[in-house]
């Protein structure tokens, strides 16, 4: 990838070829409705149970678990779910919808205004999803949404690969990528979001449930482009 110009890279990532990718498990919010075949909008799901590592106000680690990077903004959530696998996110989103509870998604906790936390709501924390799979042949990486930037740089560096990240190691890779992601490599490789070529996401389904979607340039590409901060790609809107 080092021999690609940014323009070439954008072309490559738009068709999913040859770029370092940072697919992450991106948890959606109940505001996203993506009902597919078999899930009519009035479908009711069985009552959900919260799974994963659950932290509640009476838990000894609640204070640490509810703290964000910017301590000017303190929130007291009803429950924090530290997802250990995708199904935990599905269960948490379903539970939030069934109980009409506000939810936030959190990775590296570095939102400057504390927007990844909420009073009396549920925080779905993906920071413990740390899987890394690197394919050197295609120069792509599939990583868990819980990697921070330092962990991502370290993992990629072992294979002489790189992706754009910001300068603070503890910022969450998925939070930074969804927000654009600007760093020393931006002029060379584009923004972090330019390198995102696929994601596993959890979205609302039916009347009160949730489901997993795989998004990439060929499947639910509108959602991939939304994650990259753009609208649906067309030949007119693709990078020149
Ligand atoms: C000290 C510091 C240095 C920074 N340096 C840079 C820099 O050099 N370059 C740069 O571009 N930015 C920089 N930022 C900004 C940073 O990239 C953003 O604040 C980023 O959104 C933080 O992501 P996070 O996962 O750590 O935070 P979080 O608070 O966990 O999340 C941030 C936002 O992303 C959402 N989110 C996070 N993960 C997911 C997910 N998996 N699915 C869905 N939504 C999710 C959250 O709901 C929230 O709205 C810096 C911030 C700080 C505090």
Report how far ligand 1's centroid is from the alpha carbon of 108 (Å). Answer: 7
Note the pLDDT tens digit of each residue in 137-161.
999 999 999 999 999 999 999 999 9
pLDDT score recorded for residue 15: 27
Which protein residue has the closest C-alpha to ligand 1 atom 7? 166
CA–centroid distance for 2 within its chain: 26
Task: Determine what percent of the chain is predicted with pLDDT higher than 90.
Answer: 77
Q: Can you name the CATH fold of 6-24+129-226?
A: 3.30.465
So where are the chain's domains?
Answer: 6-24+129-226, 53-125
Q: How far apart are CA 7 and CA 19, in angstroms?
A: 12
Which of 175, 182, 183, 212 is the pocket-test mutation for ligand 1 (most atoms within 8 Å of CB)?
175
pLDDT higher than threshold 60 for residue 118: yes
pLDDT higher than threshold 60 for residue 211: yes
DSSP 177: H
pLDDT score recorded for residue 93: 97
Residue 38: pLDDT band by 50, 70, 90 thresholds?
A: low
pLDDT higher than threshold 70 for residue 31: no
pLDDT score recorded for residue 174: 94
Q: Can you name the CATH fold of 53-125?
A: 3.30.43
- Count of CB atoms within 10 A of residue 154's CB? 13
pLDDT higher than threshold 80 for residue 228: yes
Helices (H) and strands (E) in the chain, counts: 7, 9
Half-sphere CA count of 207, side-chain side, radius 13 A: 8
Residue 55: pLDDT band by 50, 70, 90 thresholds?
A: very high
Note the pLDDT tens digit of each residue in 66-109.
999 999 999 999 999 999 999 999 999 999 999 999 999 999 99
Which protein residue has the closest C-alpha to ligand 1 atom 28? 109
Q: List, chain by chain if needed, residues with CB within 6 Å of any ligand 1 atom.
A: 26-27, 69, 104-112, 115-116, 126, 145, 166-168, 171-172, 174-176, 178-183
pLDDT, mean over the chain: 84
Phi, psi of 164, rounded to the nearest 5 degrees = -65, 130
Q: Which residue has the higher pLDDT, 12 or 228?
A: 228
Which of 178, 180, 199, 213 is the pocket-test mutation for ligand 1 (most atoms within 8 Å of CB)?
178
pLDDT higher than threshold 70 for residue 9: no
In this prediction, residues 162-172 reach a mean pLDDT of 96
pLDDT higher than threshold 50 for residue 12: no
Phi-psi domain of 130 (left: phi exceeds 0; alpha: psi -120 through 50; beta: other): alpha
Half-sphere CA count of 55, side-chain side, radius 13 A: 17
Report how far ligand 1's centroid is from the alpha carbon of 180 (Å). Answer: 9
Residue 39: pLDDT band by 50, 70, 90 thresholds?
A: confident
């Amino acid at each position: 990838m080092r021999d690609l110009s940014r323009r070439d890279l954008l072309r490559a990532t738009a068709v999913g070829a040859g770029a370092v990718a940072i697919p992450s498990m991106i948890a959606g919010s109940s505001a996203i409705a993506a009902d597919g075949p078999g899930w009519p909008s009035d479908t009711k799901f069985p009552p959900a149970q919260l799974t994963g590592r659950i932290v509640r106000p009476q838990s000894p680690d609640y204070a640490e678990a509810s703290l964000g990077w910017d301590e000017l903004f303190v929130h007291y959530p009803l429950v924090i779910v530290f997802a250990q696998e995708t199904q935990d996110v599905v269960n948490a989103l379903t539970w939030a919808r069934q109980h009409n509870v506000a939810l936030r998604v959190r990775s590296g906790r570095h939102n400057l205004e504390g927007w990844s936390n909420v009073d009396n709501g549920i925080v779905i924390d993906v920071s413990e999803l740390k899987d890394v799979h690197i394919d050197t042949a295609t120069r792509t990486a599939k990583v868990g949404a819980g990697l921070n930037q330092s962990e991502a740089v370290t993992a990629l560096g072992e294979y002489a690969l790189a992706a754009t990240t910001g300068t603070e190691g503890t910022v969450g890779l998925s939070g930074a990528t969804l927000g654009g992601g600007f760093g020393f490599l931006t002029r060379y490789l584009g923004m972090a979001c330019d390198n995102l070529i696929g994601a596993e996401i959890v979205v609302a389904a039916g009347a009160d449930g949730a489901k997993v979607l795989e998004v990439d340039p060929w499947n639910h590409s509108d959602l991939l482009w939304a994650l990259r901060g753009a609208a649906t790609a067309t030949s007119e809107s693709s990078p020149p």
